[in-house]
Amino acid sequence: MTTDIQIQYDVLSQKGLKPNQKSIHLRISESKNMYVIHRALVKQLHKKRQGNANCKTRSEVRGGGKKPWKQKGTGKARAGSIRSPLWKGGGVIFGPKTKEYTKKINKKEQQLAIRNLLYNKKNQTIIIDNTYFESNQPNTKLLLENINKLKINNTDKIIIVLSKKDVNTYLSIRNLKNIELIQANQLNLISIIRAKYLVITEESLDIIQKVYNE
């Protein structure tokens, strides 16, 4: 079962608090909130796994078609191929093979997990006006000053959500390991969970409501 929740946010500009507020409607699950988030998180973590470890079996190792020596009369142990797993350079018994780690989850369940997580993070979410980080050129120092105006520590893990990625903003934060820039229609659970603060523009909030409330 899901229920509709409306969250009201104050909107901040570089000059301070704006008189208007911004709201978002989220359809979240009434129970098993963390279960849905966990399922979506496991799916994303599985998708990141490469699964490219691969060992050759005795049938895949090159060579070994000829019997090394005759069956009897040499005093040696019987051998049929130099590519036996018992020989150096031979195949590997029960070694890892290339596999794909996938976990299926419905699109609506994925969206529900994002909405639930955004609701859980509502107290760590800050809404800013659309021009808050705009600048004519990349400037990391100015960007950190603007973050400090939000009364948050710029050494904490922060996600900045924009309606579309701005080149100057991207170049300003690319050397800052604790700040991540995400487009509003490309939210992912791992980044949101790790972040201590979510800084979202007004326009991005509208996109989030439209994309993830389908």
| Euclidean distance between CA atoms 138 and 1, whole angstroms | 46
The domains located in the chain, with CATH, are: 2-49+104-212 (3.40.1370.10), 51-100 (no CATH)
Q: Residue 64's pLDDT is what? A: 84
pTM across the whole model: 0.79
Q: Token digits for 166?
A: 């701005």
Half-sphere exposure of 89 (CA within 13 A, CB side): 6
Bridge partners for 29 per DSSP: 2
174 SS3 class: coil
Q: List the pLDDT tens digit at each of the 214 positions of the chain.
A: 788 888 999 898 888 778 788 889 888 887 767 888 999 999 999 988 888 999 999 999 998 888 999 999 999 999 999 999 999 999 999 999 998 888 888 999 999 999 999 999 999 999 999 888 888 899 999 999 989 888 888 888 999 999 988 899 999 999 899 999 999 999 999 999 999 999 999 999 999 999 988 6
Q: Are 165 and 183 in contact (CB under 8 A)?
A: yes
Beta carbons within 8 Å of 158's beta carbon, 6+ residues apart: 147, 152, 178, 179, 180, 195, 196, 197, 198, 199
Q: Residue 154's pLDDT is what? A: 80
Closest listed residue to residue 163, CA positions, set 206, 112, 114, 132: 206
Half-sphere exposure of 155 (CA within 13 A, CB side): 0
